[in-house]
Amino acid sequence: MRLCSIVVLSAFLTGTAVSAAEPANMSGTWKLNVDRSKLHGRPAPSSLQIVIQHNEPKLSYKGRIYTPSAEGDSEFSFDGAIDGKEYPVKVDTTDQRITFKRLSPYSVQSDMHTVDGKIQETATTTISLDGKTLVRRIIRTTPQGKQTWTETYDKV
C-alpha cells in the first residue's frame, strides 16, 4: 500500500511540475540560418532578421527580409499577444490578421490570413531548450497552391 501511495504522489508531483512550467521567453534578435533551414525550392533571402519582444502573453516583433530575387525587400511587424485572439499584422503595405496560441512551454502556433482570404498560413514556432535556436514550420496556401518549409533562426 505504501508503494502505491508513493507512486501516486510521484505522478501527481511530476504532473504539477510539467503544468506549472513557465513559457520560454522568445525575446531577442534572431537571424535566419539558411544552411539549417529547409526552404524546399523557395529562394533563400540574402538576410532575414527578426527582433522579438516577449513578456507572456504579450508578443511583438518586427523584421526585414532582404531578397536577391525580383520580390525585393520586405518588412513586417506585429504587436499583440499569445491568447488566441485575432490581431493585425503588417507585411509591407498588406494588412493581414493573425492569431497566436500556446501549444507547450516551448511552442506557439500562429494562424495568419490576408483580409481577402486568398493567403492562409499556419506556422508552429518552437524555441530550443537552451534558448539559442528558433524553428518555424510553415504551411502556406495561396491560389497557386500549397507550400511548406522550415526556417531555423540563431539568436544573435
pLDDT, one tens digit per residue, over 59-101 is: 999 999 988 765 678 899 999 999 999 999 988 878 899 999 9
The pLDDT tens digits for 130-143 are 999 999 999 999 99
The predicted model scores a pTM of 0.82
66 and 45 in contact (C-beta within 8 Å)? yes
Q: Which domains, and CATH codes, for the chain?
A: 23-155 (2.40.128.20)
SS percent in the chain: helix, strand, coil, step 5: 10, 55, 35
